[in-house]
Amino acid sequence: MTHPRLVAFDLDDTLAPSKGEIDIRIADLLRELLRRVDVAIISGGNEQQFRTQVIARLVDLHPAEQSRLHLLPTCGTRYLRHDGEGYAVVYAHDLSDEEKSAALTALREEAERLGLWESEPWGDILEDRGSQITFSALGQRAPREAKHEWDPTGERRAALRDAVAPRVPGLEVRSGGSTSIDITRGGIDKAYGMQRLAELTGIGLGEMLFYGDRLDEGGNDYPVRAIGVPSVAVEDWQDTADKLDALIATLPDPVAR
């Protein structure tokens, strides 16, 4: 691969602070990338987070650039692409009401049993994202510092995951962000989303480049690396920006609009 045909990113702590909007520097870099190659963002966040954190900051894209942007919320269980008027859903693997109920009940009961249910969280602990149920131990709006201190070794998330999984057979239960557990349909993770993206775009996995902050084994970005997508580990959005400056300097001149 002389240069990637598609550059993909995790969102929280890779392109933006957790639950925060992308910085103007990242927005400008994404615009520069979109003038040259396709860009994909895949994250456990829901569709509304994508619209708030990313789309709202990229309002002035040219139609050709809009067509090169691929958005995969909830770990690729949903796929959005611009249809000429707005970012529309191409597919969505929503959970049934019964699956959602079972997942929500199991997460709450097992978190309480393990002493992991916070009495005073920053926002909702449980969230129904349609195609994904998410447990956020400290609440959806917890500050980054508190989140990073809650489970630095991953032991708490692993214990909750292992306790919940047998109660929801047929569903995928995995560690998400630094304080979260995500539940989707079986066999669906970021690897699934990237493979579907390859099928729908005709761009091979080996022609992609992925940036993520949790590429270590057990991290929620690791499945992308495991299926052979060339990957770059980053520490935060500033690190991503620095590495994108270097990447963009190596890419061919912008394609004609």
Q: Find out whether 213 is annotated in a ligand binding site.
A: yes
Question: pLDDT band at 1, cuts 50/70/90?
Answer: low
Q: Which of 10, 13, 38, 151 is catalytic?
A: 10
**How confident is the model over 190-227, as pLDDT tens digits?**
999 999 999 999 999 999 999 999 898 888 899 999 99
Q: Is 216 a catalytic residue?
A: no
DSSP string across 42-81: E-SS-HHHHHHHTGGG-TT--HHHHTTEEEE-GGGTEEEE
pLDDT at 44: 86
CB 34 within 8 A of CB 68: yes
| 8-state DSSP, 23 | P
User: What domains can be seen in the chain, in order of their start residue?
Assistant: 6-93+188-250 (3.40.50.1000), 97-185 (3.30.1240.20)
Q: Find out whether 129 is annotated in a ligand binding site.
A: yes
CA Rg, the chain, in Å? 18
- Nearest Cα residue to 218 out of 186, 171, 176: 176
Question: pLDDT band at 255, cuts 50/70/90?
Answer: low
**How confident is the model over 121-166, as pLDDT tens digits?**
999 999 999 999 999 999 989 998 899 899 999 999 999 999 999 9
CB 126 within 8 A of CB 108: yes
Q: Find out whether 10 is annotated in a ligand binding site.
A: yes
Report the alpha-carbon distance of residue 70 to residue 82 in Å, rounded: 8
Question: pLDDT band at 256, cuts 50/70/90?
Answer: low
Report the alpha-carbon distance of residue 24 to residue 58 in Å, rounded: 10
- Nearest Cα residue to 249 out of 33, 65, 16, 1: 33
CA dihedral 162, 164, 170, 175 (to 10 degrees): -60
Q: Which of 12, 13, 151, 189 is catalytic?
A: 12
pLDDT at 82: 97
Q: Find out whether 182 is annotated in a ligand binding site.
A: yes
Q: Is 10 a catalytic residue?
A: yes
Report the alpha-carbon distance of residue 77 to residue 72 in Å, rounded: 7
Report the alpha-carbon distance of residue 73 to residue 43 in Å, rounded: 5
Q: What is the end-to-end Cα distance of the chain in Å, rounded?
A: 24
